[in-house]
Amino acid sequence: MHIAEGVLSAPVLLAGGALAAAGVGLGLRQVPESRVPFAGLLCAMFFLASLIHLPVGISSVHLVLNGLCGILLGWGAFPVLAVALLLQALLFGFGGLSALGVNTLVMATPAVICGALYRLAARHGAPGVSRWLAAAAGAGAVALGVILMVSALWLSGGHRYLPLMGLVLLAHLPVMLVEALVTAVIVSALQRVRPELLP
Amino acid sequence: MEPERQPAFPAALKRGVALLLSLAFASAAQAHALRLNAEATGEGVSGLAHYSDGSPARSELVYAYDQAAQQVARVRTDSDGRFLLPLTRAGRYRIVVEGEEGHRAELQLSYAPPDSALATALRAELAPLREDIARLQQRTALADIVGGLGFIAGLFGAVAFWLARRPRATERR
């Protein structure tokens, strides 16, 4: 889900950069002071998650963890993911520097949306369903990210929207499953040992 | 506050997830980055395209552009991610590989047709060495990982430090 250098057109890069900057600005105001060290921890997790490839058959599946960031940080996911993506681009060559804004938008927008939906549903739902909600948020954040990424590619031209969408969504099915499982496990573990960290 | 104990994920679901995960998905396009190695050989520029998780980039398009940005060759990678761009003229070329979903990698290299059988043989002999060097360069170094984590710790630590030193509104009053 990292878009490389030289793939997107200039208007898409500029619009993505502007929207991501707005999201980062909003996120910086939303993170309470007491959560800053926790946000740093999540940033480190997201930064590292991209390196973990679980072999699946002849291919492999990796973690994204943007849904988890959204559940735990809300709008704070924007600055946290922007920092992690910057470091991934600089140190690992994942995604181009010029595409940093678009990549932040692609990862953090689903995080915010799924995090908000999780909060809403967890507040009104029965106490036992939160792990299922977390699983849905984890998978949904990846799926939404794929939709945003394909949209960015399509807006830059040269792609037919629906065939590419089908292909990329299919390729991400295992990612969504792993993501759902990991997000649910982490949220239910937090619920047991540190419920105050959850929204 | 101890929430009421929930049963763990039902065993049937666990098995289902494991089964789905064990299905081999032929596409590795969800890896993070596309890597490209290329070197001059006797018949043109040959090379290897692979994803950052080590899986080969199968049947992706590889282009060669000359210095006037004209496309001079276009091939698809084979099932091992290998390709051979047939080039005949000496010059500096830009090699670009494009995958689906926003993956792209490029490099520049000079190519000249070999002027002797010895040069051709030498290129063939040196090709594995060049591939090894490229692999070493593209490997994620532990130093990068540790450095990134240190940067994150430092950055968020600095923010926390700054916030902690700032006089709070309630204290000012």
Reported as a single tens digit per residue, the pLDDT across A18-50 is: 999 999 999 999 888 888 999 999 999 999 988
Tens of pLDDT, residues B64-84: 999 998 999 999 999 999 999
A55 is written with which tokens? 């072999």
Q: Which band of pLDDT confidence, cut at 50, 70 and 90, is reported for residue B132?
A: confident
Chain B environment of A184 (Cβ under 8 Å): 9
Determine, yes or no, domain membership for B65. Answer: yes
Taking an 8 Å cut-off on Cβ atoms, the answer to whether A91 and B147 are in contact is yes
Domain span at B56:
34-141
Higher pLDDT residue, A59 or A105? A105
Contact criterion met (CB below 8 Å) for B125 and B102: no
Determine, yes or no, domain membership for B23. Answer: no
Determine, yes or no, domain membership for A65. Answer: yes
- The total domain count for chain B is 1
Determine, yes or no, domain membership for B168. Answer: no
Task: Flag whether pLDDT at A125 surpasses 80.
Answer: no
Nearest Cα residue to A48 out of B71, B26, B107, B146: B146
Contact criterion met (CB below 8 Å) for A48 and A64: no
Q: What DSSP element (H or E) covers A126?
A: none
Determine, yes or no, domain membership for A160. Answer: yes
CATH assignment at residue B40:
2.60.40.3080
Q: Which of residues 95-134 of B touch A (CB under 8 A)?
A: 98, 100-106
Contact criterion met (CB below 8 Å) for B52 and B35: yes
CATH assignment at residue A66:
1.10.1760.20
The 8-class DSSP code of residue A143 comes to H
Lowest mean pLDDT among A103-112, A157-166, B22-31: B22-31
Chain B environment of A83 (Cβ under 8 Å): 152, 155
Contact criterion met (CB below 8 Å) for B94 and B108: yes
A6 is written with which tokens? 């030289």
- The total domain count for chain A is 1
Taking an 8 Å cut-off on Cβ atoms, the answer to whether A92 and B33 are in contact is yes
- Encoded amino acid at B158, one letter: A
- C-beta atoms surrounding B134 within 10 Å: 18
Determine, yes or no, domain membership for A76. Answer: yes
Determine, yes or no, domain membership for A5. Answer: no
| Whether A45 contacts chain B with CB within 8 A | no
Q: How far apart are CA B58 and CA B61, in angstroms?
A: 9
Taking an 8 Å cut-off on Cβ atoms, the answer to whether B21 and A37 are in contact is no
Write the residue in B21, B103, B163 that is nearest to A177 by C-beta.
B21
Determine, yes or no, domain membership for B42. Answer: yes
Domain span at A37:
10-197
Write the residue in A40, A127, A152 that is nearest to B152 by C-beta.
A40
Determine, yes or no, domain membership for A92. Answer: yes
The owner of tokens 């065993």 is: B11
pTM for this model (two decimals): 0.82
Kindly write down the DSSP assignment for every residue of B76-107, as one continuous string: E--TTSEEEEE--S-EEEEEEEE-STT-EEEE
Q: Which of residues 23-82 of B touch A (CB under 8 A)?
A: 23-34, 52-55
Nearest-5° Cα angle at A12, A9 to A17: 125
Tens of pLDDT, residues A129-169: 888 999 999 999 999 999 999 899 888 887 778 888 888 88
